[in-house]
Amino acid sequence: MDRCNKVALAGAIIVSLGGAMFTKSFPYHLYFDRLPIEKLLIAVAGWSLTTYGPILVAALFWHLAKRSSVGWLLHVLLPLCFFGLLRAGNKLMLSTQVLQDWDATMGGPFWPGFFVTITALLVYYSALVASKLSAPSTSR
């Protein structure tokens, strides 16, 4: 298992622990506690998309960029993909609610995905810069 996969696994474990703690939080009890099972599964799918999605996409893009001749394009497209995951997951979670916003908790269910997205971007681009700085120079 290479370093990228280890970081992705660590991120997935942290997100899983955060998800377990979220089930004890006020936003969970306010929005999701009394949902029918079919709506709860849709909300869980949305939450998973916003929290696990950036980790999986970052690992996938990292490996694809190493094998591609246009790896820079994947590095550029990463934030757009993250934004799409965040929006799609949020829409899925909101589709299970009567009120189509998170005002009562100031965005409570939205924030874990947002923080994972920001963290994944920081880790990804920090690793990219570190790998470029540590790579041997090919110019003479």
Question: 122 lies in a domain?
Answer: yes
| pTM metric for this prediction | 0.83
Question: 135 lies in a domain?
Answer: no
Q: How many residues does the chain have?
A: 140
Number of domains the chain is built from: 1
pLDDT tops 90 at residue 139: no
Q: How confident is the model at residue 21 (pLDDT cuts 50, 70, 90)?
A: confident
What residues make up the domain containing 26? 3-127
Question: 120 lies in a domain?
Answer: yes
The span from the CA of 90 to the CA of 61, in Å, is 22
The span from the CA of 24 to the CA of 20, in Å, is 8
Question: 105 lies in a domain?
Answer: yes
**Backbone phi, then psi, for 110, in 5-degree steps?**
-80, -35
Return the residue matching tokens 């874990």: 112
Question: 139 lies in a domain?
Answer: no
Q: Of the candidates 103, 88, 87, 98, which has an alpha carbon nearest to the alpha carbon of residue 27? A: 103
Question: 46 lies in a domain?
Answer: yes
The span from the CA of 95 to the CA of 34, in Å, is 15
Question: 137 lies in a domain?
Answer: no
pLDDT tops 90 at residue 25: no
The span from the CA of 22 to the CA of 32, in Å, is 11
Question: 7 lies in a domain?
Answer: yes
105-136 pLDDT, tens digit per residue, is 556 677 888 999 999 999 999 999 998 898 77
pLDDT tops 90 at residue 73: yes
